[in-house]
Amino acid sequence: MAEEDEQLETGPPPAVPVFFLSDSTGISAETMGNAVLIQFPDLRFDRRLIPFISSVEEARRVVAILDAAARGRVTPLAFSTTAVEEVRQELLRAKCPLIDFFGMHMEQVESILGAKGIRVAARLHGMGDVKRYNARMAAVEYAIEHDDGQSMRALEKADVILVAPSRCGKTPTTMYLALQHGIFVANYPLVDEDFASAELPGPVRGLRDRCFGLTTTAARLSQVRNERRPNSRYASLEQCSYELRQAEAMYRNHRLPVINSSTKSVEEMSTVILQTLNHRE
């Protein structure tokens, strides 16, 4: 049926099979690959992660998968961050175009550094690092305890306090900063009584220097809230406009750094906050 269908085909082009290959988690391979793929917004990709390829035997099984994909109608593409030389060489036998991260960068970096890379599977800073693990745990636990203004206890221990009306992106940004960067983040939701004046709410008033104000567009806030409580006053465009207008007046009044979550991902907001903290030091 393939040939006839191909001629009649009028739908979108078929997805390009993309493989992320790694002798570790594959997070680097995914990050690298997706940084490239995002530059092709008109194409569709069918992504598959194959992590922990740690032996030549396993690499052979992966090559069989890649070769099968290469027999399909669309040329597949693989990104590999495999560091171990014999595994890398085995993967390069596949009949599938392969962006070989270590093959391309390792020698260049070795010559710049004047040192030989060990070429072993990347071990992430394992949980074996007890001090680092405990620091992150403490940050995550602090974030959980202080999510959504649940606790005002030890608010002065916060490195960062995110202030915003409900659903502007406080919680995921808080968790990201805690988990990835070990930063103590509290978040403080603005509620009805806070909108009456342009004053910072009592509990955070003395901590202005750690506060960041989040905002978004009324349309987006309304859309997000509607998913949660459809057709409520809480989700109405009017209420969302009012809350954001009052919140922004409060941020201006206290000269808080302001971040608009409608145009930024959690990672981008976190980076802006980290940069602001760094510049203050």
- Write down the number of H helices and E strands in the chain: 11, 8
Cβ atoms 37, 18 nearer than 8 A: yes
Question: In 3-state terms, what secondary structure has residue 120?
Answer: coil
CB 8, min distance to a copy of itself, A:
22
Question: In 3-state terms, what secondary structure has residue 61?
Answer: helix
Burial grade of 73 (CB within 10 A; 0-12, 13-18, 19 or more): exposed
Q: Which is nearer to a copy of itself, 205 or 228 (CB)?
A: 228
Q: Which is nearer to a copy of itself, 205 or 229 (CB)?
A: 229
For a copy of itself, the binding residues in 58-117 under the rule CB under 8 A are: 75, 77, 81, 83, 97, 99, 101-102, 104-106, 108-109, 112-113, 115, 117
CA dist 97 and 78 (Å) reads: 6
Q: State both tokens at 150.
A: 């649940």
Q: State both tokens at 281.
A: 């030091």
Q: What does each C-alpha distance from 106 to 74, 88, 116, 136 come to in angstroms?
A: 30, 12, 9, 31
For a copy of itself, the binding residues in 188-227 under the rule CB under 8 A are: 216, 220, 223-224, 227
Q: Which is nearer to a copy of itself, 253 or 275 (CB)?
A: 275
Q: Which of 197, 180, 196 is nearest to 124 (CA)?
A: 180
Window of 87-95, 171-179, 198-206, 232-240 that interacts with a copy of itself by CB under 8 A: 171-179
Q: Which is nearer to a copy of itself, 51 or 201 (CB)?
A: 51
Window of 3-11, 29-37, 202-210, 243-251 that interacts with a copy of itself by CB under 8 A: 29-37
Q: Which is nearer to a copy of itself, 232 or 265 (CB)?
A: 265
Q: State both tokens at 20.
A: 């992320």
- The count of chain residues that interact with a copy of itself, using the rule CB under 8 A, is 83
275 binds a copy of itself (CB under 8 A): yes
For a copy of itself, the binding residues in 33-62 under the rule CB under 8 A are: 35-43, 49, 51-52
Residue 269: what residue type?
M
* Residue from the set 12, 126, 202, 230 that interacts with a copy of itself by CB under 8 A: 126
Question: In 3-state terms, what secondary structure has residue 214?
Answer: strand
* Residue from the set 55, 58, 60, 172 that interacts with a copy of itself by CB under 8 A: 172
For a copy of itself, the binding residues in 138-167 under the rule CB under 8 A are: 140-141, 144, 147
181 binds a copy of itself (CB under 8 A): no
CA 203 to chain centre: 30
CA dist 264 and 270 (Å) reads: 10
280 binds a copy of itself (CB under 8 A): no
